[in-house]
Structure 1
Amino acid sequence: MPSFVRQLSLSLAAALLAVNAQAAVKVGEPAPNFSLPGSDGKTHALADYPGKTVVLEWTNDGCPFVKKHYGSGNMQSLQKSYTGQGVIWLSVISSAPGKQGHVDAAGARALSQSRGASPTQVLLDDQGTVGRLYQAKTTPHLYVIDPSGKLAYAGGIDSIASADPEDIPAATPYLKNALDEVLAGKPVTVAVTKPYGCSVKY
């Protein structure tokens, strides 16, 4: 019985630590550092980009909501526009092996080429560690980290939660607006929105 109680206590403590770690990821607070393998075969860490504005984009090429933004060219346009302004754009794939959207490094490179994507790096989060750390819920799910290392935006790419590309022009472009404000040194007006898309396939 004592060992059972001790084990239960340890389990509860671990659960509380997990909850506290999840709760720690908040807009306005420092974005937690991480490192992941990239599609280029190298390891990349958030700490590699001090003083930079960073976008984290959770993606899954099999998701119709992701296809909406890549099939229309919207995501690629944002990537090219903002990386051209010095923004670091990290596309994160947290799909587990055997689940929709999972690719290896070679598959990720081929995917970027086939859809004309141009993020700074594609990061492979097979175990879902970083996705869970940032509480990424959907694909796409977008985060903006400002040059001071604080999380400045978390949420959807825009305001219309559909898989129809024709809705893009009428939507409020939450991500674009947040990036423009961060790059201008202004506080983000709408810093948290509800993401929409497919569930991340942990």
Structure 2
Amino acid sequence: MKKRAAYLVVLVAIVGTVVFSSFKNSETAPISNGYTIGDEATDFKLKDVDGSMVSLADYKDAKGFIVIFTCNTCPFAVASEDRIIALDEKYNSKGYPVIAINPNDPKVQPDDTYELMQEKAEEKEFNFPYLYDAKDKIYAAYGATKTPHVYLLQKENGKNIVKYIGAIDDNVRDAAGVKEQFLANAIEELLAGKEVTVKETKAIGCSVKV
């Protein structure tokens, strides 16, 4: 009986320790997989293909930002390039510039090196920053899992608030087949002083290579 009682005491102590440890760890462990609508998005300072360092704070007159995580290699990202260029051409002057960020680690995806990003930007004549995120992991803070993956931000009281997350439109494979322009619609609603109707859609693309 004494041995059994001692065994139970030890068992209870072990279980208690495990439970306490789990509870303690749960308090310190991340509870978010990135931003949700209404969150404040962090600023960053990342290297552009021209060698300069770019942050959202540089854009003093911007009303918001079209932050797009994209890359050189993913077929879905490549299929979106002309659409991204067109978005910046249309909305930069209206206060919503495109900020493109490559989240892929070139050690995992060798065709996404900084040098090849420079070649891509020159070849496609990107009219927006194309930033290198191999070390800073900004994509993780935002919760981007695909390329392309869009985060539409709006400046509110000095903060960059997330207003839309997801896809550029409803046909990432074929621009000619697009019926719903989710991102453009959201920007137009913000410009009109309205609340965004479709706040989230599913980002379709290649997984971020890290």
The TM tier, using the shorter chain, reads 0.7 to 0.9
Tell me the number of residue pairs that the alignment of Structure 1 and Structure 2 aligns. Answer: 189
Matched, 1:86 2:102: no
Q: CA deviation at 1:18?
A: 4.9
TM-score by length of 2: 0.78
Distance in 1 between residues matched to 2:27 and 2:121, nearest whole Å: 39
TM-score when scaled to structure 1?
A: 0.81
Q: Of 170, 181, 184, which aligns to 1:159?
A: 170
2:201 equivalent in structure 1: 193
Greater C-alpha Rg: 2
Q: Counterpart of 1:33?
A: 43
1:112 aligns to what?
A: 121
Q: Which runs of 4+ in 1 moved over 6 A?
A: none
Among 58, 72, 84, the residue aligned to 1:75: 84
Letter of the 2:154 partner, please give it: D
Aligned-partner Cα distance in 2 for 1:190–1:22: 21
Helix, strand or coil at the partner of 2:33:
helix
List alignment gaps of at least 5 residues for structure 1. none
Shift in Å at residue 94 of structure 1?
0.6
Match of 1:136 among 141, 144, 156: 144
Cα distance in structure 1, aligned partners of 2:86 and 2:185: 14
Q: CA RMSD in A?
A: 2.7
- For residues 65 and 28 of structure 2, the distance between their equivalents in structure 1, rounded to whole angstroms, comes to 27
Alignment match, 1:55:
66
User: Cα distance, 1:64 vs. partner?
Assistant: 1.0
2:40 match: secondary structure: coil
Does the CA-based 8 Å contact 2:84-2:98 persist in structure 1?
no
| Letter matched to residue 123 of structure 1 | L
Bigger shift: residues 41-50 or 182-191? 41-50
Deviations 1:6-58 (A, max 9, x none): xx959x73x754523535x2211211222222223232223333553111111
Q: Percent identity?
A: 28
Q: 1:22 to 1:185 in 2, by over 3 A?
A: same
Q: Does residue 190 of structure 2 align to residue 175 of structure 1?
A: no
